[in-house]
Structure 1
Amino acid sequence: MPFLAFDCEGPITLNDNAFEFCSSVIPQGGRFFKQVSRFDDYLADIKKRENYKAGDTLKLILPFLKLFGATNRSLEEFSERTLVLLPKMDEILSKLIKIAPVYIVSTSYKPYLVALRKRIGFPLENVYCTEVDLDAVKISPAEAKILTEVYEKILGFPDIEIPATAKIPEDLPGNLREILDEMEYLFFEKVWNLDSGFFLREVNPIGGKEKAKVLEEISRELNISLSEGFYCGDSITDTDALSLIKEARGVSISFNGNRYALRSAEFYALGYDGEVIGEVVLSFLDNGKDGLYRFRLKDERKEFGLVPGDEEELSTLISRSENIRKRVRGLLIGELG
């Protein structure tokens, strides 16, 4: 019996909970989050900073959420109030958990996954996510002044846009590299050594390599080979998990994925609701991975197939997938890494 694992935001829900909470709590929080998210993409994918992984945005923003008054309770209440499911995914998950081991492996904060559990009844013991305690730190007036200066400096930078063709730092324009170097100093020297730097030092977002580690743990605990694993993700935080399953000859699927997810997955799915996911999973459970090579689906509402190896065809697919991603999840969320 295979095991099934899904990212949460994208394949199951439409939110970007951290982005939305940031936008709600912090003045100009949406733009602030986007600046930090682009910085995260740079550190994880281009600079490949040691001991840094995709998704660590979720710890970088925590001192600033705390600065502007965020608490555990406010995050919990916000998550319950704003959670939006991808249509049909509640029914699909309810069906799947009766016939196979199903897991959610999410970079999102735990209160958001607790809100999901309350909404659809998914077992919390099968959820891996980012533990956070916003009440663990108190910020003094002196520290608040420093954090405010850092916050204002980051907002004062021009919009950070990482060229899709960039592979190494030297591929970036000099002025952009200067901004990214300055942000690295601000976070890992200035903020790191504050009391609120606790969040940067101690919080471990479940993204990048951490997602891959979770899949290895699930495989060991169930005594099910990774070659029998199924993982569905959509963003840069999923690349290690998708690559792990792909290399193990399991089933790795990008659902409405961006370029990071598509370049790491073997299969792709596009859709405006969860129906395509349900059909693909049931085909896999009935006919194995070999059946997916024969399974083809394409109409105006959903599509499934192999990620093409040809670069021109892949570029076309990336454009189509990212366009649907933005239409389904909204432009601001869809543009995030």
Structure 2
Amino acid sequence: MPFLALDCEGPLTLNDNAFEYSQAIIPRGDKFFTQISRFDDYLADVKKKEGYKAGDTLKLILPFLKLFGANNRSLREFSKKTLAFLPEIPEILSKLNQILPTFIISTSYKPYLEALCEVTNFPMENVFCTEVDFDKVRLSNVEAKILEDLYKEIINMPVIELPKDAEKPEDLPSELLKILNRLEEIFFNIIWNMDIGIFLREVNPIGGFEKAKTCERISKELAISLSEGFYVGDSITDTQALSLFKENKGIALSFNGNRYALRSAEFYALSKKGSIFLELSQIFLEKGKEGLENFIKKEPYEFGKIPLQKEEFDKLVEKSEAFRKKVRGEVIGALG
């Protein structure tokens, strides 16, 4: 019996809960979150900072969310109020879990996943996500003033634009590298050593290698090989999980994915609706990986193998990223 593991935001929902909550709580929160998200992309994909993983944006923003009044109740209420599904997902999710063991592995905060489970009746015990507790952390007046000054500095920095072909810090313009080095000092020297830095030291977002580790744990607990696993992801936080399934001859699917997901996956899909997951899962159950290797579809959704030739791959990246923005919106769709 195969198993299915899905990322949440993108494959299941249209939200970026942390971005939207930041936008609601922090002044000019959309710009602030985008800057930190691109800094996250730099640390994970370009600098490859030791011990850092894609998705740690969700802990970097916590001190500033706390500064501007975030608490457990407001996050919980905001998540319930703004939850937006990909069409058909609320009906499909329960059906998927009936035909094969299904799990959600998400970098998102737990209250957001709790809201999803409440609406869909999906079992919370099959969900892995980021635990956060705003209320247990106290912010002193002294540290609040420091954070206010750092917020002003960050929000007034030039917009971070990472060159698409950058592979190491030396590939970046010197002025951009100066900004990124300053952000590294702010987060991993100044804030890290403050009391409020407990958010950075102790919160562990479920992204990057944590998603891959979670998949290995599921495989072990179910006694089902990764070769019989099916992983669906769409962004930089999914790259290691996608690579894990690809290397173990399972199914690694980029769903409305960006360049990061497409680099790591073996299959791709472009769809505006959730029924695709039921059809692909049934093919995998009945015919195995070979069934999906021989399955090509253009309507009502597109599915196929990711091309290996650079020119064809680049065309797919452009197409998938444009489709992603149509489905999720320009701003959220552009995030790593």
- TM class by shorter chain equals over 0.9
Equivalence map 1:85-234=2 (5 Å) = 85-234=85-234
- Take 1:122 and 1:152, find their aligned partners in 2: how far apart are those partners? 41
Q: How far is the alpha carbon of 1:277 from its aligned partner?
A: 2.5
Residues 297 and 303, structure 1, Cα contact 8 Å, conserved in 2 = yes
* Residue matched to 1:333: 332
Give the stretch that moved more between structures: 267-276 or 14-23.
Answer: 267-276
* Residue matched to 2:17: 17
* Residue matched to 2:265: 265
- Take 1:192 and 1:147, find their aligned partners in 2: how far apart are those partners? 12
* Residue matched to 2:320: 321
- Take 2:225 and 2:21, find their aligned partners in 1: how far apart are those partners? 37
- Take 1:160 and 1:62, find their aligned partners in 2: how far apart are those partners? 20
Residues 276 and 303, structure 1, Cα contact 8 Å, conserved in 2 = no
Q: How far is the alpha carbon of 1:302 from its aligned partner?
A: 1.1
Q: Which residue type is aligned with residue 334 of structure 1?
A: G
The normalised TM-score by structure 2 is 0.99
Give the stretch that moved more between structures: 90-99 or 74-83.
Answer: 90-99
Whether 1:251 and 2:251 are equivalent positions in the alignment is yes
Could you say what secondary structure the match of 2:111 adopts? helix
Instruction: Identify unmatched segments of 5+ residues in structure 1.
Output: none
Instruction: Identify unmatched segments of 5+ residues in structure 2.
Output: none
* Residue matched to 1:311: 310
* Residue matched to 1:84: 84
- Take 1:36 and 1:254, find their aligned partners in 2: how far apart are those partners? 24
Q: How far is the alpha carbon of 1:286 from its aligned partner?
A: 1.6
- Take 1:266 and 1:199, find their aligned partners in 2: how far apart are those partners? 35
Measured against aligned partners, the alpha-carbon deviations of 1:90-126 in whole angstroms (never above 9, x if no partner) come to 2211111111100000000000000001110100000
Residues 43 and 49, structure 1, Cα contact 8 Å, conserved in 2 = yes
Residues 255 and 268, structure 1, Cα contact 8 Å, conserved in 2 = yes
* Residue matched to 2:283: 283
User: Would you say how many aligned residue pairs link Structure 1 and Structure 2?
Assistant: 336
Q: How far is the alpha carbon of 1:275 from its aligned partner?
A: 2.5
Q: Which residue type is aligned with residue 283 of structure 1?
A: I
Q: How far is the alpha carbon of 1:276 from its aligned partner?
A: 2.3
- Take 1:41 and 1:140, find their aligned partners in 2: how far apart are those partners? 31
Cα RMSD (Å) of the superposition?
0.7
Could you say what secondary structure the match of 1:142 adopts? helix
Q: Which residue type is aligned with residue 56 of structure 1?
A: D
The normalised TM-score by structure 1 is 0.99
- Take 1:329 and 1:134, find their aligned partners in 2: how far apart are those partners? 28
Measured against aligned partners, the alpha-carbon deviations of 1:51-104 in whole angstroms (never above 9, x if no partner) come to 100000000000000000000000000000000010011221111111110000
Measured against aligned partners, the alpha-carbon deviations of 1:261-290 in whole angstroms (never above 9, x if no partner) come to 000000000011113232212211121110
* Residue matched to 1:43: 43
